[in-house]
């Protein structure tokens, strides 16, 4: 008997042992070859063991955990929840559930997303009808578990997607409570773009001998382009003008600009619209219908610029994105990795731009240490650079127009101008009209470059003495900070972006408030990262939370409009 030739061996997704129904769905979606993370993890997860995966955004990790889960679901299976996927944001919940629905379409798999911002009654009805897979944010998952509407007794697979983001947002306690409601013999899968010590800690606590799979962006398919990373040093006062100048030079197809706060998002979106960009704002102060409308405009090309907070933009997957801009240097290097992962996906080139103030150079070094890459430093483009680029864009547009087959349709316009002016003057007038219609911004002001400006010692006090920090409280002694934390309080963490201010929160231990509740509320509503929040002190009747000094008023306003532990909360600047 002849040995089978190499060409007889299964290839692509067929080699991964997937069900015929799944293979048919993947073929219909145009999936031909698995990515490295899929090739490594699908067989491992198919064997039923736990897995700890590190993979950058855009490497195909959703299919890496979704396909093995769906592979265990028979088309004849009753819609009983056997898989739970936890994600940090509502946007990611929608995206993951849509992907799993498409993959499992041939099996008629029922996937239900549950997240805050959507009427809970709709979710209650969907869960009552039954679901094979539930994709949820931690807070809403807990709500359904406590109501009895989400039963997890039959769950065999639990996935924590973007686990580092969930921990940053203060969901550690919620995750623990959710996992305690699932069977002990479940398969537990953690995916994270970064691998800080806290991820290893949660893996040791909740997983059993997990397999470690690490796929970095440089390890992906040869067709996947590396992201070009660029930094411009500029003072805060000149940032809006610098952003406009840089985007004019770059001419992105579509871009996301990350800001720290809602207020900054709204202001910058308005500024960029005034500069001629079709810009949309996205932040935690918007309801789900508004957020969906904004994302629809970005995806269909109606908007070309999305200005967003970190929390609002987490988990976004937009195929047309070419640029990501950090309006500030993220204080957490892991946040930088998540942000730039929005571009450079599936073989497309991507550009990551950061606007850094002189005092933020240390944060850039932290990012370079984590990514093991040097970020290219460029000078702010000059007015002459902008003029040159505008000419280049116009010449390209006119050249392309000259190749059109319908130019004769406009001959009557030219005939109407016969004898009015020379052909050159008519062409110049036409170009002027084109620039005005395009909203080309006539920028005449040079923007000072802050690349070589000396960083001031932000720990130096007015009297020349360095500040001393109380190890027990995290408060600066020179600022009059008082008191010690109880043993149950959150460990102090200090902002790398300057002085720490403090907000008073009107609820404490008596109301059941935990550190994770405070971090989650501030991160979601004010757009801060978990590492920017702290120290935290929780007393019987109130709490005190440290945040960047410049964000105190924004946090007070944003969080005061929310509910905490089912109760209305008052937040204001804390004064001893």
Residue by residue, DSSP assigns 155-180 as --EEEETTHHHHHHTT-HHHHHHHHH
Residue 523's pLDDT is what? Answer: 79
For residue 500, the cross-strand partners are 548
Domain 13-219 is found in CATH 1.10.150.120: no
What Cα–Cα distance (Å) separates residue 244 from each residue in 102, 109, 305?
A: 39, 46, 11
C-beta of residue 85 within 8 angstroms of C-beta of residue 49: no
Task: Give the per-residue pLDDT at 101.
Answer: 93
- Give Dmax over CA atoms of the chain in angstroms: 91
**What are the backbone dihedrals phi and psi of residue 80, each rounded to the nearest 5 degrees, phi first?**
-105, 135
Q: Give the residue extent of every domain in the chain.
A: 13-219, 227-382, 384-402+409-438, 477-573
pLDDT of residue 324: 92
**8 A C-beta contact, residue 342 and residue 314:** no
Report the 3 state secondary structure along 414-425. HHHCCCCCCHHH
Of 222, 500, 229, nearest in space to 340 by CA: 229
Domain topology for 227-382: Rossmann fold (3.40.50)
pLDDT of residue 486: 40
Phi/psi at 305 (5° precision): -135, 125
Q: Is 483 strand, coil or helix? A: coil
| CATH architecture assignment, domain 477-573 | 2-Layer Sandwich (3.30)
- H or E stretch including 129? helix 120-129
Residue-wise over 349-361: b if at least 16 C-beta within 10 A, else e? ebbbbbbbbbbbe
pLDDT tens digits, the chain, 576 residues: what are they?
444 444 455 568 888 889 999 999 998 888 878 888 888 899 999 998 999 988 766 677 889 999 999 999 988 889 999 999 999 888 788 889 998 999 999 999 999 999 887 788 899 999 999 999 999 999 999 999 999 999 999 999 999 998 888 887 778 888 889 998 999 999 999 988 777 777 888 888 888 888 888 875 444 433 334 688 999 999 888 899 899 999 988 888 889 999 988 888 988 998 888 877 889 998 877 877 788 888 888 877 788 899 988 766 665 666 678 899 999 888 778 778 878 877 765 556 789 999 998 888 888 988 888 878 889 999 998 888 888 887 887 788 788 878 888 888 878 888 788 777 787 888 888 877 876 666 555 556 788 878 765 444 444 333 444 344 343 344 444 443 334 444 334 444 443 445 788 999 999 888 888 887 888 888 777 777 777 888 888 888 899 999 888 888 888 888 886 778 778 888 998 876
Short-list 330, 360, 326, 340, CA closest to 450 = 360
- Three-state secondary structure string covering 314-374: CCCCCCCCCEEEECCCCCCHHHHHHHHCCCCCCCCCEEEEEEECHHHHHHHHHHHHHHCCC
Can you point out the beta strands (E) in 109-156? 111-114, 133-136
Closest listed residue to residue 53, CA positions, set 161, 204, 182: 161
- CA atoms within 13 A of residue 339's CA, in its CB half-sphere: 35
Q: Residues 113, 202, 44, 53: what is their CA dihedral angle, to the nearest 10 degrees?
A: 80
31: tokens are: 């999936």
Cα separation, 517 vs 177, in Å, equals 14
Contact, 75 vs 21, CB < 8 A?
yes
End-to-end CA distance of the chain: 88
Q: Do 13-219 and 477-573 share a fold? A: no
The alpha carbons of the chain give a radius of gyration, in whole angstroms, of 27
In the sheet that holds 543-548, the strands lie side by side as 536-538, 543-548, 500-505, 571-573
**166 and 136 in contact (C-beta within 8 Å)?**
no
**What pTM did the predictor assign?**
0.53
Q: Which helix (H) or strand (E) holds 378?
A: strand 376-378
63 alpha-carbon distance from chain centroid: 19
Lookup: tokens for 292: 């969906």
255/337 Cα distance (integer angstroms)? 16
Q: Token match 């009107």: residue?
A: 506
Count of residues making up the chain: 576
- Do the bridges between strand 83-86 and strand 157-160 make them parallel or antiparallel, or are there none, so unpaired? parallel
């Amino acid at each position: 008997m002849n040995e089978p030739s190499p060409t007889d061996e299964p290839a692509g997704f067929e080699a991964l042992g997937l069900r015929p129904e799944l293979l048919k769905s993947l073929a219909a979606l145009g999936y031909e070859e698995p990515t490295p993370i899929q090739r490594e993890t699908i067989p491992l997860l198919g064997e039923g063991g736990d897995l700890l995966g590190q993979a950058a955004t855009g490497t195909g990790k959703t299919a890496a955990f979704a396909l093995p889960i769906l592979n265990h679901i028979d088309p004849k299976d009753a819609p009983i929840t056997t898989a739970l996927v936890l994600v940090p944001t509502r946007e990611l919940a929608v995206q993951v559930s849509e992907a799993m629905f498409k993959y499992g379409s041939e099996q008629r798999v029922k996937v239900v997303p549950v997240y805050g911002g959507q009427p809970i009654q709709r979710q209650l009805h969907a869960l009552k009808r039954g679901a094979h897979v539930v994709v949820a944010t931690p807070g809403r998952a807990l709500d359904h578990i406590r109501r009895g509407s989400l039963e997890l007794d039959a769950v065999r697979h639990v996935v924590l997607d973007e686990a580092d983001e969930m921990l940053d947002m203060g969901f550690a306690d919620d995750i623990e409570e959710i996992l305690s409601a699932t069977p002990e013999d479940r398969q537990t899968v953690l995916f994270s773009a970064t691998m800080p010590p806290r991820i290893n800690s949660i893996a040791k606590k909740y997983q059993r001998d997990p397999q470690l799979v690490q796929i970095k962006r440089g390890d992906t398919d040869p067709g996947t382009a590396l992201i070009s990373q660029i930094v411009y040093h500029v003072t805060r006062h000149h940032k809006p003008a610098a952003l406009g100048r840089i985007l004019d030079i770059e001419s992105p197809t579509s871009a996301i600009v990350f800001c720290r706060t809602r207020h900054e998002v709204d202001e910058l979106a308005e500024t960029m619209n005034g500069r001629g960009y079709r810009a949309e704002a996205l932040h935690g102060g918007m309801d789900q219908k508004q957020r969906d409308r904004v994302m629809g405009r970005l995806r269909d090309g109606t908007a070309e610029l999305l200005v967003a907070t970190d929390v609002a933009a987490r988990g976004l997957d937009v195929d047309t994105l070419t640029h990501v801009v950090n309006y500030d240097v993220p204080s957490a290097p892991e946040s930088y990795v998540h942000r730039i992962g929005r571009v450079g996906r599936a073989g497309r080139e991507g550009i990551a731009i950061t606007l850094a103030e002189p005092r933020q150079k240390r944060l850039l070094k932290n990012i370079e240490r984590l990514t093991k890459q040097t970020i290219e430093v460029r000078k702010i483009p000059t007015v002459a650079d902008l003029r040159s680029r505008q000419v280049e864009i116009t010449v390209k547009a006119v050249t392309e127009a000259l190749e059109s087959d319908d130019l004769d349709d406009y001959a009557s316009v030219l005939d109407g101008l016969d004898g009015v002016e020379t052909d050159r003057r008519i062409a110049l007038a036409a170009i002027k009209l084109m620039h005005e219609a395009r909203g080309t911004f006539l920028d005449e002001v040079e923007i000072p470059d802050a690349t070589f400006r000396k960083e001031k010692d932000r720990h130096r006090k007015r009297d020349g003495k360095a500040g001393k920090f109380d190890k027990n409280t995290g408060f600066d002694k020179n600022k009059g900070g008082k008191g010690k934390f109880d043993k149950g309080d959150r460990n102090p963490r200090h902002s790398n972006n300057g002085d720490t201010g403090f907000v008073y929160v009107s609820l404490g231990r008596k109301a059941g408030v935990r550190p994770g509740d405070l971090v989650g509320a501030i991160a979601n509503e004010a757009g801060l990262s978990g590492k920017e929040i702290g120290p935290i002190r929780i007393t019987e009747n109130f709490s005190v939370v440290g945040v960047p000094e410049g964000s105190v008023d924004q946090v007070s306003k944003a969080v005061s409009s929310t509910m905490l532990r089912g109760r209305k909360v008052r937040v204001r600047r804390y004064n001893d």
